[in-house]
Amino acid sequence: MIIDMGKLSDSTVSTAIDAYVQGKDMRDRIYGWSEELRMLQDEVSELAVELLARYQPVATDLRFIKSCMEIAYGFSRFGRYAHDISDVFGIFGDLSSCDKSSIQEAGEHTKTMIHMSIKAFNERDVELANRVRKMDDIVDNIYLSFVKRAAHGTGTDLKCTVSGTLILRYLERIADHATYVSESVLYITSGERSPRK
């Protein structure tokens, strides 16, 4: 189920980003996928609780089950934020005149982080997980740079500024959750938690 959630959340975020850049209204499809992710998260949680109650796992098995619950929540959040990104189209309408370069850049980094975090989890690849953590700073910096430019009035179109800020904030949160997924790899393999920035 976690692998299925990973694939679906990856597709959901990628579709939301691409739809925004291309000016397409994909709200219904993305909403459906985000609801599916929410239901899968509930199933993962129920199964995890059943496994804990029936088998009382310890050590690596316990860490794995606990991490699966947290990762399922993260994948569900990917779906929710993807839905929020698609909702920007409904709120603001046509944004074709906006400069989307910052969103495209952050979106590509975020998509890469999602791919890498899922792969790191599936393969228990600590080195790959650490690379995801370092990439989180890039998305943070794109978001903060955009906000600083907006605060200094370098962007004149209010609709473009507000919609861009919202989407970059959602991408920043998705990148954070991809980082949490990758950090679970260290926890599963060693029992240690990565220090937060």
Domains along the sequence of the chain with CATH = 2-190 (1.20.58.220)
pLDDT at 196 over 70: no
Task: Count Cα neighbours of 167 within 13 Å in the Cβ-side half-sphere.
Answer: 34
pLDDT at 197 over 60: no
Q: At 175, is the secondary structure helix, strand, or coil?
A: helix
pLDDT at 90 over 90: no
What does R_g of the chain's alpha carbons equal in angstroms?
A: 18
Q: What is the mean pLDDT of residues 113-140?
A: 95
Retrieve residue 139's tokens.
Answer: 């998305």
Task: Render pLDDT for 97-120 as a digit per residue (tens, 0 to 9).
Answer: 999 999 999 999 999 999 999 999
pLDDT at 82 over 80: yes
The pLDDT-based confidence of 193 (bands split at 50, 70, 90) is confident
- Residue 153's pLDDT is 77
Q: What is the mean pLDDT of residues 30-47?
A: 97
pLDDT at 128 over 60: yes
Sign of CA dihedral 53, 54, 56, 62: negative
Task: Render pLDDT for 61-80 as a digit per residue (tens, 0 to 9).
Answer: 999 999 999 999 999 999 99
130-137, Cβ contacts within 8 angstroms, sequence gap of 24 or more: 130/182, 132/178, 132/179, 132/181, 132/182, 133/179, 133/182, 133/183, 133/194, 135/109, 135/175, 136/175, 136/176, 136/178, 136/179, 136/197, 137/197
- Residue 61's pLDDT is 94
Retrieve residue 156's tokens.
Answer: 């004149």
- Residue 151's pLDDT is 87
Q: What is the mean pLDDT of the chain?
A: 93
pLDDT at 190 over 90: no
Tell me the pTM.
Answer: 0.93
